[in-house]
Amino acid sequence: MQIQIRGIQKTFGSFQALTGVDLDIESGELIALLGPSGSGKTTLLRTIAGLEFADSGRILFGNEDTAGIPVRERRVGFVFQHYALFKHMTVFDNVAFGLQVRKASERPAKDAIRAKVLELLDLVQLSGLDKRYPSQLSGGQKQRVALARALAIEPRVLLLDEPFGALDAKVRKDLRRWLRGLHDKTGYTTIFVTHDQEEALELADRVVVMNRGRIEQVGSTDEVYERPATPFVFDFLGGVNVLPGIARGREIDVVGVSAPLPCGTCDHTGAVDIYVRPGDLRVADAAQPSFEAEILAVQRTGPIVRWDIRARALDQQLEVEIPHLHHDVKQHVPGQTVRLRLNQYSVFARGAKGDARPKALPDTVLIGRERERGRLG
């Protein structure tokens, strides 16, 4: 089901939850609404479901305007963050609920309901647990029951509110992969809400990054990660170091190094902020333009080694992430000096961070990436 969202506004008292949201969702897409708490992502999801009502704007399912259609008749499969399973019913009755409450004329026969429920339980890999009660299930199992229950009504769109929020890290990862597989198999148009950027990037076809009730960027996972449209998106999708710099035409001066403002034909003069991910600060060869930094602390987390460094030219503490193969245990110890270079970075006009949209700098970002992902990015 194709969904069109047009100019949705919503306020709670004096709080602007959504300020004019426009979004097109293609049939069969898996979309993530990503943002911090209070960004309006859950409100948007609940508005699509009909659990909240927009102050203005329209939501179309296909060509049908949903205004005035109550949640009961929208045929949306909504999966709640805390599952909202009916505690006093068995797994079977939970999944069958949506079919059993239909009018007698539309209700499938008992055998048909039974067959359908068992088929769905098979799909979510819970065969044999149909007689259990929700309290006898693990978090991941409950989540899958909730999903089967939502799928039972053959929804026009599947809406998931923080689907993995209440699960522990390992289960979350497994379930994520499984959900992606399920989506590919069933093809339901699916929208899910998350504040976990890793989850959004791994699972979704397209990511909608939201902040303060508006959409910051919509794009494929590659687009939002590699070409963030705003400082907020850059900041939200992974860690970031912000370096002050000066742009002079086609060049920028940053940490005493001259670097290109490499967006083809653009130029800019004035103060800028250079956004660099911790993984894009690399140890430099002697020949490369580089800046000097002192290692303050070293911490190893799994395959990545994290350094806290202080750039000499800036007197500013920065974060660096190095694959542990590149980390020389003897050399790279606190107190040592290293030379670093900027690999990939984005440039925003100063003052763009915060609530203001980035001031239109011609071709804001887009700095050539040294395509060296193959050589251990």
Partner 1 sequence: MSSQPVDHSLQDPPKLPFEPLIQRNAVITEQPWVRWLLTALALVFLAGFLLLPLVAVFVEALRNGVGTYLDAVRDPDAIAAIELTLTVAAIAVPLNTLFGICAAWAVTKHTFRGKQFLITLIDLPFSVSPVVSGLIYVLIFGAQGWLGPWMSEHDFKVIFAIPGIVLATVFVTFPFVARELIPLMQEQGTDDEQAALSLGATGWQTFMRVTLPNIKWGLLYGVLLCNARAMGEFGAVSVVSGHIRGMTNTMPLHVEILYNEYNFAAAFAVASLLAMLALVTLVLKSFLEWRLGSELAATRKH
Q: How far apart are CA 146 and CA 149, in angstroms?
A: 5
Q: Which stretch binds partner 1 (CB under 8 A): 173-181, 243-251, 271-279, 296-304?
A: 296-304
171 lines the binding site for partner 1 (CB under 8 A): no
- Tokens 């897409």 appear where? 29
- By CB under 8 A, what part of segment 38-77 binds partner 1? 49-51, 70-77
Q: Which stretch binds partner 1 (CB under 8 A): 195-203, 218-226, 241-249, 297-305?
A: 297-305
Query: 12 near 37, Cβ under 8 Å?
Result: no
Would you say 151 or 175 has its CB closer to partner 1?
A: 151
242 lines the binding site for partner 1 (CB under 8 A): no
Candidate list 40, 98, 228, 231; residue touching partner 1; CB under 8 A: 98
Least separation in angstroms between residue 88's CB and partner 1 is: 4
Least separation in angstroms between residue 333's CB and partner 1 is: 6
Would you say 135 or 265 has its CB closer to partner 1?
A: 135
The per-residue b/e assignment along 4-17, b for 16 or more CB within 10 angstroms, e otherwise, is ebbebebeeeeebb
Would you say 127 or 317 has its CB closer to partner 1?
A: 317
84 lines the binding site for partner 1 (CB under 8 A): yes
333 lines the binding site for partner 1 (CB under 8 A): yes
Q: How far apart are CA 121 and CA 259, in angstroms?
A: 57
- CB count within 10 Å of CB 302 equals 6
Candidate list 187, 289, 334, 351; residue touching partner 1; CB under 8 A: 334
Query: 355 near 212, Cβ under 8 Å?
Result: yes
Amino acid of residue 339:
R
Would you say 63 or 135 has its CB closer to partner 1?
A: 135
Q: How far is C-alpha 376 from the geometric centre of its chain's CA atoms?
A: 24
The three-state secondary structure class of 289 is coil
The per-residue b/e assignment along 67-79, b for 16 or more CB within 10 angstroms, e otherwise, is eeeeeeebebbbb
Residues forming the site for partner 1 (CB under 8 A): 49-51, 70-78, 80, 82-88, 97-98, 101-102, 134-135, 142, 149-150, 152-153, 295-300, 305, 329, 333-335
